[in-house]
Structure 1
Amino acid sequence: MTKTTVLISGASVAGPALAYFLHRDGYDVTVIERAPHLRDSGYAVDFRGQALGVLEEMGILAEVRTHDTKMRGTTLVDENGAEIKQLPSEAFAGELEVPKQELTRILHRITADNVAYVFDDSISALTQHESGVTVDFERGTTRDFDLVIGADGVYSKVRLLTFGPHADALRHLGLSGVGFSTPNYLGLDRSGLLQPTPNTAIYLFSLDAAAPLTVSLSFATASPALDRRDRQEQEQAVRAAFAGHAWEAPRLLEAMSEADDFYFGSSCQVHLDRWSHGRITLVGDAGYCAAPTSGMGTSQALIGAWTLARSLAEADGDFTTAFAAYEAELRPYVTENQAKGQQAATMFGGQATPVGSQGTTS
């Protein structure tokens, strides 16, 4: 019997997790990733609620727990660095927190023998027809698949090609920021410091006393347009936002220019009227990002992958029925998480704007 062929775009969390479940259920799965190799960067990720059950079903919960950061908590400080109160570890680390690269490494390892991974390539065109989807690649040979699934993040290529411009789906939460690492001159040991003001926030943490200091400088913005600018313009915007700030801001702005792991991004959500179109559907941030401020991105990606795979299994491969069931079951959970993301963004000076009102993003 011929297996149903599935192409998944994206090899971060949602993609490999979905690949695991689909292979288990008898599908022939290919994962394509535009990065040249498995990504080894990113902040720590946390798991809450049902996501732990998904890890257990995959047989990796115990291994993931061995990488627990064991964060102790975060100290909230005022504009001069004086302590206001202590925030519990669960506020930022959930029920379990691990470095993202460890999670992606584990997910890749448990799927690599059964799933075809193609790195350093990307989808360039998608053409649906009665019997499948013809996929053109930037480098590879054109191929046909029965189903195509976008698990390729907020700026999903699958979503762009299938549902239209990014600006139609993205909702900016009024917040942008930069992340980087610098020597741990504050001696933070599995702990963090958070200094919020009406329009900015400084968040510092370290996974142990010998590890680098991870720095996040966020500030209010009207759109995510800075995401598409060069580093010099992004640094200028950060400096302008934090001009005149006391405490550690001047030293951190110096360190920002020296950092070789500089990352700039905006807090955005993805809102779509539907998550599928014919034989193509979306999972994780590509379809319904709740924004980093929600603290639910990784959990939502895992639960989304698990729900989609189970819906396909229960529909006996009838993708139309499965995609509808997947969305009907998951959308209330996503709506709740997106509300949390919007609420948390306002704590850092952010404010959600209507869909389509966030400037040029495509």
Structure 2
Amino acid sequence: MENTDILVSGAGIAGPALAHWLRRHGFHSTVVERAPAPRPGGQAVDLRGAGRTVIERMGLMERARALCVEQRGIALVDTRGRHTARMPVELFGGEGIVSELEILRGDLAELLRQATDGVEYLYGDTVTALAEDADGVTVDFENSPTRRFHLVVGADGLHSAVRRLAFGAEPEHYRPLGGHHCWFTVHDPALARELDRWFLMYNAPGGLVATARPGRLPGEVKASLAFRCGPLALERGDAAARRRLVADRFAGAGWRVERLVAGLAAADDFAFDSFGQIHLERYSRGRVALLGDAGYSPSPLTGLGTSLALVGAYLLAGELAAAAGDFTAAYTRYEELMRPYVTRAQELPPGGVGGYAPDSALMIRLRAASMRWMGRWPLRAVLAAQFAKAGDIALPDYPLPAYPLPDNPPAAHPLPARTT
């Protein structure tokens, strides 16, 4: 086996999933993560289609089900909180907008991390430089000493540091979709009871969207606020300015938005980003490969980011094993298998951002009317095709070695002499 020591950047969903499969196939891996520790909670993500199959093959489905958030489906509400349209979970066989299996992102990440027992994690750090040569990659870190790896995989999200270093600046690959969103947790027992286990969505004129869905803990509400707009000149680290922007945008929006904005001010898990996708000509360059949102983010509008991350991790590790570590052959095969799946997954639902965040009262009413017809012909067929994309790939069966799993971390490789 060649190229067995692999650096994985990112400890969200894709990174630990890859580390799990690499370890099962006999590789050594090290995972580096910018956050100082595993991040609990987060918003709900879904296990559907081929992503669900990967979790089953990992042997984690029973534990994943135990962590799932119980939800009845999605419902649109008006300013008085009345349901104007509903899509129950069971309408599309558990594969609709709200999946049968919804799990908080932090819970899924922790479940995957626990399945990587023995893998080395470097928290509170990030990659700052990559220098590739014929035998491997010299990696500089922000805090840790420089180290040597055979391969590097960027699984570090939409704003990937590895992608920037190996593939170029973000604007070359990022495709904005015309909106921004934030998500956070609100502790509001009264609102949690009002949800009655429904994922509630409220639209207001001007392209405003407020959502509230049940958390896993009593009185916990997982909220998001989204709006349509062009690029914003905001520093990524200025959370206070982003909170003010969101509060100003949603002032007087109606429904329970005032309470959500009040909770936003106190939330310790506030996150803000734009709606966008990553499009690359290739998912690898030299010894560096990209995985999940770092390589092919479909945007939250598709609901397929988790499936792409889990499937990509399974395929990348499996192809490296099938090629006995020949990364050139493995990366080529990974690309061939993933590209069609990614292309279909990145197709936006009808209307795109405009369908998600209608900008007028008339369009909001039409959206509610269309949801009421989603269980009937012809909309049912259109939506069924959209949801079926999650399973639109035949996963290979990769044989797993019978010999013991490798010890981690691997023995240190000497750094090449620096030239002057």
The DSSP-based 3-state class of the residue aligned with 2:11 is: coil
Matches within 5 A, 1:26-41: 26-41=26-41
Give yes or no for the alignment of 1:334 onto 2:342: yes
The DSSP-based 3-state class of the residue aligned with 1:178 is: strand
Matches within 5 A, 1:2-17: 4-17=4-17
Structure 1 match to 2:378:
none
Matches within 5 A, 1:79-90: 79-89=79-89, 90=95
Give yes or no for the alignment of 1:266 onto 2:274: yes
CA distance in 1, matches of 2:6, 2:160: 17
Structure 2 match to 1:360:
none
Give yes or no for the alignment of 1:252 onto 2:260: yes
Structure 2 match to 1:55:
55
CA distance in 2, matches of 1:163, 1:241: 35
Structure 2 match to 1:161:
165
Judge which range, 115-124 or 232-241, deviates more: 232-241
CA distance in 2, matches of 1:343, 1:337: 15
Structure 1 match to 2:114:
109
Judge which range, 172-181 or 299-308, deviates more: 172-181
Give yes or no for the alignment of 1:191 onto 2:191: no
CA distance in 2, matches of 1:54, 1:303: 7
**Shift of the alpha carbon at 1:276?**
0.6
Judge which range, 92-101 or 27-36, deviates more: 92-101
Bigger radius of gyration, 1 or 2? 2
**Shift of the alpha carbon at 1:350?**
8.2
Q: How many pairs are equivalent?
A: 350
- Which structure dedicates a bigger proportion of its chain to strand? 1
Structure 2 match to 1:173:
177
**Shift of the alpha carbon at 1:175?**
1.4
**Shift of the alpha carbon at 1:225?**
4.1
The DSSP-based 3-state class of the residue aligned with 2:301 is: helix
Matches within 5 A, 1:104-253: 104-113=109-118, 115-182=119-186, 183-186=188-191, 187=193, 188-197=195-204, 199-207=207-215, 210-223=218-231, 225-226=233-234, 228=236, 230-253=238-261
**Shift of the alpha carbon at 1:3?**
6.4
CA distance in 2, matches of 1:2, 1:314: 11
CA distance in 1, matches of 2:278, 2:358: 16
Check the 8 A contact 1:197/1:348 in 2, yes or no.
Answer: no
Please report the TM-score for the alignment, with normalisation by the length of structure 1. 0.90
Structure 1 match to 2:414:
none
Gaps of at least 5 residues in structure 2 are: 90-94, 360-420
Distance of aligned partners of 1:79 and 1:292 in 2 relative to their CA distance in 1, 3 Å threshold? same
Matches within 5 A, 1:312-331: 312-331=320-339
Distance of aligned partners of 1:70 and 1:309 in 2 relative to their CA distance in 1, 3 Å threshold? same
The DSSP-based 3-state class of the residue aligned with 1:339 is: coil
Check the 8 A contact 2:2/2:326 in 1, yes or no.
Answer: no
Structure 2 match to 1:66:
66
CA distance in 2, matches of 1:24, 1:251: 47
Residue by residue, what CA displacement relative to the aligned partner does 1:249-306 show, whole Å, maximum 9, x if unpaired?
A: 2333333223333222222211111111100000001100111111111111000001
The DSSP-based 3-state class of the residue aligned with 1:158 is: helix
The DSSP-based 3-state class of the residue aligned with 1:267 is: strand
Structure 1 match to 2:294:
286
The DSSP-based 3-state class of the residue aligned with 1:66 is: helix
Matches within 5 A, 1:340-351: 340=348, 343-349=351-357
The one-letter amino acid of 2:151's match is: L
Residue by residue, what CA displacement relative to the aligned partner does 1:131-169 show, whole Å, maximum 9, x if unpaired?
A: 111111112121111110001111111001001111111
Residue by residue, what CA displacement relative to the aligned partner does 1:62-108 show, whole Å, maximum 9, x if unpaired?
A: 11111121211122123443321112235343241112222122211
CA distance in 2, matches of 1:53, 1:327: 20
> What is the Cα-based RMSD across aligned positions, in Å?
2.2
Distance of aligned partners of 1:274 and 1:9 in 2 relative to their CA distance in 1, 3 Å threshold? same
The DSSP-based 3-state class of the residue aligned with 1:294 is: coil
Distance of aligned partners of 1:105 and 1:310 in 2 relative to their CA distance in 1, 3 Å threshold? same
Distance of aligned partners of 1:254 and 1:207 in 2 relative to their CA distance in 1, 3 Å threshold? closer
**Shift of the alpha carbon at 1:13?**
1.1
The DSSP-based 3-state class of the residue aligned with 1:135 is: strand
State the percentage of identical aligned residues: 41
Please report the TM-score for the alignment, with normalisation by the length of structure 2. 0.78
Residue by residue, what CA displacement relative to the aligned partner does 1:219-260 show, whole Å, maximum 9, x if unpaired?
A: 012025446262332233223322442222233333322333
Structure 1 match to 2:386:
none
Distance of aligned partners of 1:41 and 1:213 in 2 relative to their CA distance in 1, 3 Å threshold? closer
The DSSP-based 3-state class of the residue aligned with 2:115 is: helix
CA distance in 2, matches of 1:224, 1:112: 41
The one-letter amino acid of 2:102's match is: E
CA distance in 1, matches of 2:144, 2:258: 47
Check the 8 A contact 2:3/2:325 in 1, yes or no.
Answer: no
**Shift of the alpha carbon at 1:307?**
1.0
Judge which range, 94-103 or 10-19, deviates more: 94-103
The DSSP-based 3-state class of the residue aligned with 1:346 is: helix
CA distance in 2, matches of 1:212, 1:138: 36
Structure 1 match to 2:312:
304
Runs of 4 or more consecutive aligned structure 1 residues displaced over 4 Å after TM superposition: 341-344
CA distance in 1, matches of 2:358, 2:139: 39
**Shift of the alpha carbon at 1:29?**
1.1
Gaps of at least 5 residues in structure 1 are: 352-362
The one-letter amino acid of 2:325's match is: G
